[in-house]
Structure 1
Amino acid sequence: MDKLPVIIFGAGGLGAAALDAFQSNGVVVYGFLDEEEELHGTEINYVSVLGNPDDDGFLKLIGKKCAAFVASDDNDYRESIVEMLNDRRKVMPSNAVHAQSMIAATAEIGHGNFVHMGAVVNSQAVLGNHCLIQPNAVVNYKAQLGDFVQVGAGSNIGASVQIGERAFIGSGVTVVSGVKIGKNARIGAGSVVIKDVAEGETVFGNPAQVVK
């Protein structure tokens, strides 16, 4: 995780959690940028919401004097901010990895990922870019997650599981070893996934079944 000061895009609950992750590592958060004007001038744990995400007065700092992180669980919004940062600042968002999470030395992590308190990313696991790994989730040995994957609190992703980009895994889900989950698939909270899930499918239950 970068040690540069950070500007966080998004001042909601995920933004507050990202602030905690950065501060747990001694990283200074310069401030928040958020589209909601009523939040401008307010503070989260003494860190100010400075203005809008497209304000050049703040954007010009990114890549030179500070890094950026996108704190939103809306993949379309996150992708638009990432594209803006790529185009206008030629940077990728930094990772927010809480000091009380655990990432194996042999794991691989891309850019812009959020690994919450208590989460574990085990040996030789691979996270793409812009994934959200919620508190106490476990990504086991050799599991592979594509870009913009979300894994809910307390979920357990088995060894060698493959999860396609933009898939959503709800809270408390168990995905058994070796299962493949397709792009844009959705797994309902508390489900136990024992077989492959096709691209775009929604499944729920124990064992998980396709929701029509």
Structure 2
Amino acid sequence: MYVYGAGGHGKVIAEILKSNAVDVNGFIDQDISIHRLLEKNVKHTIEETDRIVLAIGANEARKKLFIKYHEYVAHQHFAHSKSNVSDTAAIGIQTVVMAGAVVNAQARIGKGCIINTNATIEHDCIIADFVHISPGATLAGNVTVGEGSHIGINASVIPGVSIGKGCTIGAGSVIIKDVPDSTTVVGNPGHIIKQGD
């Protein structure tokens, strides 16, 4: 397995693979100045037989690469051995779950998502494709998050709240009501600081 992205996020993905006894053949990155990472070679092109896991933090960029390299992406998700994922949860391909994260009963997580270190996805949450739940963020039960949204570090979302597509929830925010599409919310309680494209 190759990790596509030779940066900090790539290092974490490599450790997820290692925790599951998956061999990391090396890294792939478009930056031709990078040649080694974690004592592995970094190459700059994908070969026909390569299988990759995307290690790109930006949601839209990750989506574009997923589409571009769909024939090469591994059709599975990757959860760190020290995460806690319910047997009744469903997780899409190319989603990564970092160490310490919890995904509880009957949560549904789409493809290409990042469930970062110590994040909590409680029961019956529905997370769309290409979402990033940052370290320490907590989604209580029955929360819905739309495609491409980013939930910041240590943000909290109360039960039953719906967050739209393409939203940004600031670090440490407390979300107590629904958030429309393409909205940036910060603070405790969360308040809108930007709406629309």
Among residues 43, 47, 51, which one is paired with 2:37 in the alignment? Answer: 43
Give secondary structure in 2 for the equivalent of 1:135.
Answer: coil
Among residues 57, 62, 69, which one is paired with 1:73 in the alignment? Answer: 57
Structure 1 residues 37-60: Cα deviation after superposition (integer angstroms, max 9, x where no partner): 1112x131x2221x21xx2xx421
TM-score, normalising length: structure 2 = 0.94
The equivalent of 1:136 in structure 2 is: 118
Structure 1 residues 181-210: Cα deviation after superposition (integer angstroms, max 9, x where no partner): 000011000011000000011111111011
1:187 and 2:162 aligned: no
Among residues 154, 179, 188, which one is paired with 2:136 in the alignment? Answer: 154
Q: Determine if contact 2:73/2:94 at 8 Å carries over to the other structure.
A: no
The equivalent of 2:4 in structure 1 is: 9
Q: Structure 1 vs Structure 2: percent identity of aligned residues?
A: 35
Offset of 1:82 from its aligned partner? 1.2
> What does 1:75-154 correspond to in 2, within 5 Å?
75-86=59-70, 89=71, 91-154=73-136
- Structure 2 unpaired stretches of 5+: none
Structure 1 residues 155-183: Cα deviation after superposition (integer angstroms, max 9, x where no partner): 11010001000011000011000000000
How many correspondences in the alignment? 194
Offset of 1:91 from its aligned partner? 5.0
After superposition, the CA RMSD in angstroms is 1.3
Structure 2 residue identity aligned to 1:159? G
Give secondary structure in 1 for the equivalent of 2:41.
Answer: strand
**Greater helix share, structure number:** 1
Among residues 27, 30, 42, which one is paired with 1:32 in the alignment? Answer: 27
The equivalent of 1:18 in structure 2 is: 13
The equivalent of 2:149 in structure 1 is: 167
Note closer, same or farther for the CA distance 1:119–1:10 as it changes in structure 2 (3 Å cut): same
Give secondary structure in 2 for the equivalent of 1:8.
Answer: strand
Offset of 1:137 from its aligned partner? 0.4
TM-score, normalising length: structure 1 = 0.88
The equivalent of 1:209 in structure 2 is: 191
- Structure 1 unpaired stretches of 5+: 1-5
Structure 1 residues 68-101: Cα deviation after superposition (integer angstroms, max 9, x where no partner): 1000112232122211222xx3655542211100
Q: Determine if contact 1:150/1:169 at 8 Å carries over to the other structure.
A: yes
Write out the 4+ residue segments of structure 1 that deviate beyond 3 Å after TM superposition.
90-94
